[in-house]
Amino acid sequence: MNFDLTPEQDQLRDAVRALGKRYGHRYFVEKAKAGEHTTELWNEAGRLGYLGVNIPTEYGGGGGGITELAIVCEELAAAGCPLLLLVVSPAIAATVINRHGTDEQRKRHLPGLADGSQKIVFAITEPEAGSNFHRLGTVARRDGDDWVLSGRKCYISGVDDAGHVLVVTRTEDAVSGKLKPALFIVPTDAAGLTWSKLDMEILSPENQFLLYLDDVRLPGDALVGESVEAGLPALFSGLNPERITVAAMGAGTGRYAIERASEYTATRAVWGGRTIGSHQGVSHPLAHAAVQVELARLMIQKASLLYDAGRDLEAGVAGNMAKYAAGEAAALAVDTAVQVHGGAGMTTEYGVATLLGAVRAGRIAPVSREMILNFVAQHVLGQDKSY
């Protein structure tokens, strides 16, 4: 057993950390408050090769795995820049296209995803279906060589900042019963595709949108893979990378919050000369949060290793557990960091309350804690399904 990163992974971690620190949480917050995107950071990370670490070298990527992408997600978040689009574009979209796309789709999309010049966001959630994606109502109808897509999606992150959206549909001949999904790479300027911004209580430069697909006509080669049979494995191939990278972002955010809080409590003194961190009522909650974050990081490491070794089923269990653990740990760490700052914790200046909305959302999305507990109860503990 070995908990050490390889020298290359260590270098990657140090380099991404340095990049993240050059931008920092203040930059992230300023962009979010101005309603702008973190374009400079994204472009620089792309130029330096960090956005494509998990994409094969023949398409301009780094040839690594989800372990490397999780490092990128964690380190940027640990610098106060949790970039949600890392989870949808390089983690979900690049994995789906690389594993299940046609040769032509790989050549067309992977180089741009690798250098960050192209972003592909992901649309599965629907207002009616919610957590139950067997109820998806977005339908793809064949019309000659074309496909025509109709439906509604919600909470779609970053569609205003992306060239394409990977849309999960069901085909017209399978409109009821068990989901037989078909995935499409839809240009965001396609006729019939529109969106409206949702007002969310999350301070983030990446926003969520309602997506309307009104008879969006697409050429046959917009379908991911050679046939609709690619849909189900393609959809599942995106889930483990999604859970692992979102967990890494949560762990990084937790580290960021604990670091901010520890710096503060080690210097702030209000009773004589003693720092507030010397009071165990302050230091123990912080230490407890640090333990939870570190446990989540271990699970992320395990899930990444299993995934990169091609052990998808085991990675599924570990990835779900990692996502659960990191979601809870991040929320605990940020809340604790706010508390030990006192009033300063609620100011923008100290840069911790700015993350409250994001970590709260991390217990709901991209998969809620309840649905993970359902998964663990069923697949690990052998319990009957309740729904």
Ligand X SMILES: Cc1cc2nc3c(=O)[nH]c(=O)nc-3n(C[C@H](O)[C@H](O)[C@H](O)COP(=O)(O)OP(=O)(O)OC[C@H]3O[C@@H](n4cnc5c(N)ncnc54)[C@H](O)[C@@H]3O)c2cc1C
Q: Which residues bind ligand X (CB under 6 A)?
A: 88, 121-125, 130-131, 155-157, 202, 208, 361, 364-368, 370-371, 374, 387
With H, G, I as helix, E, B as strand and everything else as coil, classify residue 327. Answer: helix
CB of 242 to ligand X, least distance (A): 9
Task: Name the residue number minimizing CB distance to ligand X.
Answer: 130
Residue closer to ligand X (CB basis): 206 or 306? 206
Q: Which is nearer to ligand X, 19 or 216 (CB)?
A: 216
Which of 49/161 has CB closer to ligand X? 161
Euclidean distance between CA atoms 343 and 354, whole angstroms: 14
- 194: phi then psi, degrees, rounded to nearest 5: -135, 165
Amino acid letter, residue 240 = N
For residue 89, the minimal CB distance to ligand X (Å) is 10
Minimum CB separation from ligand X for residue 222, in Å?
18
With respect to ligand X, which residue has the nearer C-beta, 189 or 201? 201
Return the amino acid letter for 60: G
Beta strands in 161-303 (DSSP E): 164-171, 181-187, 193-197, 208-218, 269-271, 274-275
Nearest residue (CB) to ligand X, 54 versus 374: 374
Nearer to ligand X, 130 or 220 (CB): 130
Q: How far is the CB of 88 from ligand X (least distance, A)?
A: 5
Spell out the residues 6+ positions from residue 323 whose beta carbon is closer than 8 angstroms to its own: 243, 244, 246, 247, 250, 367, 372
C-beta of 45 vs 168, nearer to ligand X: 168
Give min distance, CB of 38 to ligand X, in A.
16
Q: Are 137 and 126 in contact (CB under 8 A)?
A: yes
Least distance to ligand X from the beta carbon of 225, Å?
20
SS3 annotation, 215-226: EEEECHHHECCC
- CB 12, min distance to ligand X, A: 26
Q: Following DSSP, what letter does each residue of 22-50 receive, concatenated?
A: HHHHHHHHHHHHTT---HHHHHHHHHTT-
CA dihedral angle for residue 309, residue 315, residue 321, residue 325, rounded to 10 degrees = 30
CB of 126 to ligand X, least distance (A): 8
Q: 3-state class of 54 per DSSP?
A: coil
First to last CA, the chain: 39
Nearer to ligand X, 180 or 363 (CB): 363
